[in-house]
Structure 1
């Protein structure tokens, strides 16, 4: 740290932080503290100097090179065996002293760049990569470092696979408040895929509700509300491609490399309706929605690297997608920004931000049968009822709202603007449709 300088790129990032803060936005950055790249300066020093390196204890070295032989015997531990990602050494307390102190300095540098005790010029939190592969005692100390600088600093952990081979995800309850404020909610993403994406192996509304309620019972409510509710990320195929490729385990067989039957085509009209429904539920269920770049723009793609294609900005033109990842020709799909889907996301976000019930209200499942899901979000002073039809055909139903809006004479669907007289609401939901009912202002 004593030799660190602020590069032009660093200064530009500080300007980005300032501009975001001026707009009421916050920035969290990705902290990768289980491993480094093999071009990282400490590892390069180790490669060059071997046992003489000041950083030989930073990494898990199995064997140093013997300079007396022509062969390079240097062997070390890589993240899940990947040689380009050498793992950082740990002891019973997590990262060993050298890298531990280095990470502490990183936290200080980016959370309070000028070191004046005011964190307003720094980042606002951390997303911690492969957090289950670092001892929790280290994360406890990491949390102290963060909260000492900014008590409101947000810490979310990538904490999902307990047993990848058997589709078992972690229960993160024992990580909250001692380590993380939230986790990336892949359990919700899995339930969404099973409910909306699957066909032959689909769970019904009851199974979906039960899956969510299990998590709500396991997690403190305030942590349910802070969890990153995602449909997809940079580490899985996009949800828009998940619905094209149903009946798998999430994050399994998610690209043509491991699954020759995986389809890379764009979703059809019905599949885009499923995407819209999933976004509607994401924005109305308890938690903090995380929109992966391009979801709102209509992007699709299989697992990494296909899910990391360039953003389809509205002012740019793109050639059709006509090849798979192996360079083989396929039926071309137009590529471009989807303004209707973007408007849908904007509407959902506006509705959520304008509703205390949707932001932090309790949840009660009123109906969950077949494709029909009805739930209520409520605070002491406000309610919202969400009705979803996860079926390829329209659905008609009558909803009695007397118990939930006793003083209201009219309710409005915030998505369509349709006004209903209470208490008996004759609802008509389109295929994969959703309505969000609140008291009419």
Structure 2
């Protein structure tokens, strides 16, 4: 999964960023979104947690060599769990035996688990976020867990009794929910859910309903019994083994993006839905996590779903599934992963929102990170792409800059001038673009410098003051850096752990010796920015207007809200300090004070009644509120 997924996602992130606004589809504003978009979504600030790399709260449940994705004979006997604080590029003996960093890294296990998340809830709460998005937590063999063994159980190695959980699961009939038991890992997840809800933090989990792993119960049976399997219609099988021949290699099937480890579910006969078997199983699993007690009260269940590769699953399935979700909890949030224009797709499928790569992350990368579009082009692009959504959807889309599928924000900035960033003439992907040292030996793996951290704060200011629900990938707020997968999945940095200096390089090139740990100044800024967003009602509406796009100075100013509640934000993307006279429209005139700055000093604000006179240092931004 990872190699194909990363190639697609990384190149799409680069090349789609600057697609012309003419590619944004029109939407039917007459279609109400109130049934799709819960009211709480516009108030949400999301925090993404990649569970296996967040925190190891229970070393007794750490994965073993027997639980890895690869056959045990393909992994050296010297394999062991990787120390949490080790230099990322340092290779253990077993990794060297496997052939080097990018060959062995996917078999690394650090022991991240649900107890680790519970132990760090105080930290999560201190950020000011009020919604968690978890990458897959269901039972799977890989570190990323997009290759599920089942959808109705939490991974046993996330809980306190892995062996006991696996023995319990083996006694169930996976197609009969009445036989499903609650494992120790399931119970711990429900405990985590309750503790999060007690802090008014909602929980959204990943649903991977396009494909499974090869150890998924249905696919295991198909492999064993071939066309005689009761699950034979579940997958896109092109050829079964012929029992009349001694050759057992005839079995062939379709894997997601050609990856055999990820067999794809079959579509219905008409192609507008999933096949009946997997569809029913997914519906039953959905119910399990949304109404755990089966009593019609969803308050003890999850609050929503993020749907993996949603635009590769038939639309008819999503229409029915979203209706099923809201029949359980009308306030559920469903967010589709798509890297393309999303407005028409999410409306047709019944989703609440999309991961907002196309309408947010790509323009942000083009202007604030790579500086390859002007403020005027940026203003036109975000306006066209934002207003393709109806009003309530605009406030609910997940505004992310980085994730487990992209380089870390800090590393995007470090490599902003040499990432192969392109401006395509059409809606297409640039397969030659690279975002990893694995494919481009000049790609920098070092920590950011001071100017680059200033740019990160500038991006964050825009993220927290723009229309939509911000989402921060865990560790970005603490200063973590890293290229595309696998380097964006380093273990989380914690201030109570001592980390090795990062001075190794995967190709033995020279690099700086970079201390690893929490960047407290950056973390403090994220906390202030999140709090500012949550305390400022104007930032949670769809109201947005460009006040000035200054291409000469590379500055951009915009307003949120109206009249007494208005917020004005000014961004200086220039490497030099600049002054700006910012005329205000009549509806925004008044006296303003600086409310949030990305820098500690060097800014100045004056009011002359009809305009703001501003001074901003290089790579800085300022949010102002009415006096």
Q: So what's the TM-score if we normalise by structure 1?
A: 0.92
Q: Residue 198 of structure 1 corresponds to which residue in structure 2? A: 370
Question: Any conservation in 2 of the 1:225–1:360 contact (CA below 8 Å)?
Answer: yes
**Aligned-pair distance for 1:401?**
4.3
Q: Deviations over 1:255-301 (max 9, x none)?
A: 12333332211122111111110000000010000101111010111
Which stretch has the larger CA shift, 178-187 or 378-387?
A: 378-387
User: 5 Å matches for 1:158-169?
Assistant: 158-160=337-339, 169=340
Name the Cα RMSD after superposition. 2.0
> Does 2:266 match 1:89?
yes
> Does 2:516 match 1:335?
yes
User: 5 Å matches for 1:167-182?
Assistant: 169-176=340-347, 178-182=349-353
SS at match of 2:586: coil
> Does 2:316 match 1:140?
no
Q: Residue 239 of structure 1 corresponds to which residue in structure 2? A: 409
**Aligned-pair distance for 1:324?**
3.2
For residues 74 and 300 of structure 1, the distance between their equivalents in structure 2, rounded to whole angstroms, comes to 43
Q: Residue 390 of structure 1 corresponds to which residue in structure 2? A: 573
For residues 50 and 226 of structure 1, the distance between their equivalents in structure 2, rounded to whole angstroms, comes to 45
Question: Any conservation in 1 of the 2:464–2:470 contact (CA below 8 Å)?
Answer: yes
2:211 to 18, 35, 38: 35
> Does 2:301 match 1:122?
yes
Give the direction of change, closer, same or farther, for the CA distance of 1:203–1:9 in structure 2 (3 Å limit): same
Question: Any conservation in 1 of the 2:478–2:520 contact (CA below 8 Å)?
Answer: yes
Aligned residues: 429
Which blocks of at least 5 consecutive residues in structure 2 are unaligned? 1-176, 423-429
**Aligned-pair distance for 1:6?**
0.7
SS at match of 1:36: coil
Q: Residue 287 of structure 2 corresponds to which residue in structure 1? A: 108
Q: Deviations over 1:168-193 (max 9, x none)?
A: x3343342264211000112111111
For residues 179 and 509 of structure 2, the distance between their equivalents in structure 1, rounded to whole angstroms, comes to 49
* Structure with the higher fraction of residues in strand conformation: 1
SS at match of 1:434: strand
Q: Residue 238 of structure 2 corresponds to which residue in structure 1? A: 62
Which stretch has the larger CA shift, 69-78 or 6-15?
A: 69-78
**Aligned-pair distance for 1:414?**
3.3
Q: Residue 596 of structure 2 corresponds to which residue in structure 1? A: 414
**Aligned-pair distance for 1:5?**
1.1
User: 5 Å matches for 1:278-427?
Assistant: 278-326=459-507, 330-370=511-551, 371-379=554-562, 382-401=565-584, 403-406=586-589, 408-415=590-597, 420-423=606-609, 424-427=611-614
Question: Any conservation in 1 of the 2:369–2:412 contact (CA below 8 Å)?
Answer: yes
For residues 249 and 426 of structure 1, the distance between their equivalents in structure 2, rounded to whole angstroms, comes to 35
> Does 2:390 match 1:213?
no
Give the direction of change, closer, same or farther, for the CA distance of 1:438–1:114 in structure 2 (3 Å limit): same
Give the direction of change, closer, same or farther, for the CA distance of 1:19–1:422 in structure 2 (3 Å limit): farther
Question: Any conservation in 2 of the 1:185–1:229 contact (CA below 8 Å)?
Answer: yes
Question: Any conservation in 2 of the 1:228–1:287 contact (CA below 8 Å)?
Answer: yes
SS at match of 2:445: coil
Question: Any conservation in 2 of the 1:277–1:434 contact (CA below 8 Å)?
Answer: yes
For residues 90 and 2 of structure 1, the distance between their equivalents in structure 2, rounded to whole angstroms, comes to 26
For residues 438 and 214 of structure 1, the distance between their equivalents in structure 2, rounded to whole angstroms, comes to 26
Question: Any conservation in 1 of the 2:238–2:253 contact (CA below 8 Å)?
Answer: yes
Question: Any conservation in 2 of the 1:383–1:404 contact (CA below 8 Å)?
Answer: no
**Aligned-pair distance for 1:327?**
6.3
For residues 156 and 254 of structure 1, the distance between their equivalents in structure 2, rounded to whole angstroms, comes to 26
Q: So what's the TM-score if we normalise by structure 2?
A: 0.66
Q: Deviations over 1:131-155 (max 9, x none)?
A: 0100111100111011001111000
For residues 131 and 172 of structure 1, the distance between their equivalents in structure 2, rounded to whole angstroms, comes to 13
Q: Residue 166 of structure 1 corresponds to which residue in structure 2? A: none
**Aligned-pair distance for 1:216?**
2.3
**Aligned-pair distance for 1:396?**
1.1
**Aligned-pair distance for 1:379?**
4.3
